[in-house]
Amino acid sequence: MANTSERIKENASRAAAILADIKETVRVGQDTEKYLYENLKCAVCFRLMIDADTADTDDLRKLCILSIRRQMSENEGVSDREIVRQIEKYDCHQTNLVAQKKVLLMLYIESALSIHLDDDEATEVFTVKDLADKAGKALRQKYAEGLPGD
């Protein structure tokens, strides 16, 4: 079994490859709503290091919680009680670990797809479907305007 850093690199590489494929597919106009959703969900799951086959939700908050639980229980042998405490704990900015992980995921997706969702759009993203709709729209608009892909 690969060590944690190797798994992180492998999953990050797989997520990046899927996102690059999404960019190219949208660029050539071959994307569909189903394609964007399914592939973005796979990329999200790889990035969060959770199994897409067992992630039976597309709620980004719940996917982030699954990721945190898996990471803490595997890497640190932390009890369920402590995991819940860590998830529910707020920092000095009044954000919790789940919100931080979701924000970092969104920033990663934006960077990998070379798009930007403004704050109002980003606050409307609760599910992978929401993210796929907004990312697809931003990519199509970028390519329609002739903006560079990277």
Query: Residue 34 domain-assigned?
Result: yes
SS3 56: coil
The domain of 92 spans 4-144
Query: Residue 31 domain-assigned?
Result: yes
- Spacing of C-alpha 17 from chain mean position: 14
Look up residue 81 and give its two tokens.
Answer: 């009680």
Alpha-helix runs per DSSP H in 28-79: 33-48, 60-76
Compute the distance between CA of residue 107 and CA of residue 48 in angstroms, rounded to an integer.
13
Residues 6 or more apart whose Cβ sits within 8 Å of residue 97: 68, 86, 87, 89
Terminal alpha carbon distance of the chain: 35
9 vs 70, higher pLDDT: 9
Residues 14-39: what's their mean pLDDT?
A: 96
Which neighbouring-strand residues pair with 96? 90
Cβ count near 65 (within 10 Å)? 21
Query: Residue 150 domain-assigned?
Result: no
* Domains: count for the chain: 1
Query: Residue 149 domain-assigned?
Result: no
Q: How confident is the model at residue 75 (pLDDT cuts 50, 70, 90)?
A: low
Residues 30-56: what's their mean pLDDT?
A: 93
Which amino acid is present at 92? C
Q: What is the mean pLDDT of the chain?
A: 89
Query: Residue 136 domain-assigned?
Result: yes
Query: Residue 67 domain-assigned?
Result: yes
Please give, one letter per residue, the 3-state secondary structure of 108-139: HHHHHHCCCCCHHHHHCCCEHHHHHHHHHHHH
Q: How confident is the model at residue 28 (pLDDT cuts 50, 70, 90)?
A: very high
Query: Residue 49 domain-assigned?
Result: yes
pLDDT for the residue numbered 53: 82
CA torsion sign, 136 to 141 to 143 to 149? negative
Query: Residue 63 domain-assigned?
Result: yes
